[in-house]
């Protein structure tokens, strides 16, 4: 994946031990699809490691990792598509060149937030470290591995963190470009070895963000992880992609930016109003169809042979305040106060 990441301008060459070399190994017209393909291969190692362990918990850890990656890959692809629409290319160098005036983190903030969440889920880092959750899976897919095999798993995870941080820097943070205040008053900020320095600083800040999250947020439940991926990230990313495509199409028609903002704001308000009306009528219908609450009724707490608490709508029988202590104990225990003897006479029952 690092092969298509640009560390400097296309025509910029630096000297390494007397050899002139470019700051990018190769540039493909579909470089981001290549990155997605290479990053997706990593799941095979986790799934096969859990399967070949011959144990239940490692297998569950591998399957959970596979499901997690599939869930978050979709939202990640939609976030990439927004960048492709704005830059007009899938080439990493062309995407960086498109950020000469303004970084995409400012133009596409929703795509940036979605990708940051999905990259944490892709790398199985806290709070999304479901495959390695020690609380319910012992150690996850790597339970049966130790020594250098365990070290290779951990090394692969941290290398993946560097990869997604480099992709984030390239797509949203201007790549090798110097930050805004520096690039305005210093013309040589984007020449020589300086682009490499800016790129490494941005990647280091993102790696610090990974470790910061791990020390800050607790691990989520697996159902919360799936709900976030399928019910939140994917719908939001698809709606945002449609909005970005609409804005780009209107811009290609040479429509003024203010008119585009008015069109988009009007469409969003119309959708919100329609959603409010639908929710209002749905709530009324649900309230009308709801059954009437049952009246409070007393119940026998000892009917099943052991004391049970009352359910909602039920109440305990009143305990008499006066009388003998023996009678109060009988009422509380649910036993009858009197018992019928075999001759038909009532006697005290204990």
220 vs 185, higher pLDDT: 220
Position 341 scores a pLDDT of 44
320 vs 181, higher pLDDT: 181
Alpha helices by DSSP H, listed for the chain, are 31-52, 56-87, 92-97, 104-107, 109-122, 134-137, 147-172, 180-185, 194-216, 222-227, 234-252, 257-289, 325-333
Q: Answer yes or no: is 159 within a domain.
A: yes
Whole-angstrom CA distances from 257 to 100, 155, 253 are: 20, 47, 11
Taking CB atoms within 8 Å and a gap of at least 24, the contacts of 115-119 are 115/76, 115/79, 115/80, 115/168, 115/171, 115/172, 116/168, 116/209, 117/72, 117/75, 117/228, 117/233, 118/72, 118/73, 118/75, 118/76, 118/79, 118/233, 119/76, 119/164, 119/165, 119/167, 119/168
Given a contact cutoff of 8 angstroms between Cβ atoms, the answer to whether 106 and 112 are in contact is: no
- Is it the case that residue 254 has pLDDT exceeding 70? yes
Dihedral (C-alpha) 87, 91, 95, 96: value to the nearest 10 degrees?
Answer: -160
Number of domains in the chain: 1
Q: Answer yes or no: is 297 within a domain.
A: no
Q: Answer yes or no: is 215 within a domain.
A: yes
The pLDDT confidence band at residue 230, using thresholds 50, 70 and 90, is: very high
What average pLDDT does range 228-248 have in this prediction?
Answer: 91
Q: Answer yes or no: is 347 within a domain.
A: no
Position 231 scores a pLDDT of 93
Q: Answer yes or no: is 317 within a domain.
A: no
Position 93 scores a pLDDT of 92
Q: Answer yes or no: is 98 within a domain.
A: yes
Position 279 scores a pLDDT of 85
By DSSP bridging, strand 314-315 and strand 297-298 are parallel
Provide the residue range defining the domain that includes 210.
2-255
Q: Answer yes or no: is 267 within a domain.
A: no
Q: Answer yes or no: is 316 within a domain.
A: no
């Amino acid at each position: 994946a690092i092969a298509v990441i640009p560390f400097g301008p296309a025509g910029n060459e630096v000297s390494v031990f007397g050899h002139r070399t470019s700051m990018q190994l190769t540039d493909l017209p579909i470089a981001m699809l290549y990155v997605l393909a290479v990053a997706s291969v990593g799941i095979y190692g986790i799934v096969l490691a859990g399967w070949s362990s011959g144990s239940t918990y490692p297998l569950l850890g591998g399957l959970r990792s596979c499901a997690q990656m599939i869930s978050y890959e979709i939202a990640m692809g939609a976030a990439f598509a927004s960048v492709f629409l704005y830059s007009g290319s899938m080439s990493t160098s062309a995407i960086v060149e498109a950020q000469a005036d303004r970084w995409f983190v400012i133009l596409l903030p929703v795509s940036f937030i979605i990708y940051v969440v999905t990259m944490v889920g892709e790398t199985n880092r806290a709070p999304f470290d479901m495959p390695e959750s020690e609380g319910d899976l012992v150690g996850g897919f790597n339970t049966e591995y130790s020594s250098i095999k365990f070290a290779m798993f951990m090394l692969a995870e941290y290398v993946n963190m560097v990869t997604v941080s480099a992709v984030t820097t390239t797509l949203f943070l201007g790549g090798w470009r110097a930050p805004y205040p520096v690039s305005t008053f210093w013309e040589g900020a984007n020449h020589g070895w300086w682009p490499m320095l800016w790129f490494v600083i941005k990647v280091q800040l993102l790696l610090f963000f990974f470790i910061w999250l791990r020390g800050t947020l607790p691990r989520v439940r697996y159902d919360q992880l799936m709900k976030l991926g399928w019910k939140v990230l994917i719908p939001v990313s698809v709606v945002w992609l449609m909005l970005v495509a609409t804005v780009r199409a209107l811009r290609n028609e040479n429509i003024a930016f203010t008119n585009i903002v008015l069109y988009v704001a009007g469409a969003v308000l119309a959708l919100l109003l329609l959603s409010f009306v639908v929710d209002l009528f749905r709530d009324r219908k649900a309230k009308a169809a709801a059954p009437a609450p049952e009246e409070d009724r007393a119940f026998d707490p000892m009917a099943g042979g052991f004391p049970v608490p009352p359910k909602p709508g039920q109440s305990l029988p009143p305990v008499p305040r006066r009388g003998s202590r023996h009678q109060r104990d009988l009422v509380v225990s649910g036993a009858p106060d009197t018992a019928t003897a075999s001759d038909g006479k009532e006697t005290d029952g204990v």
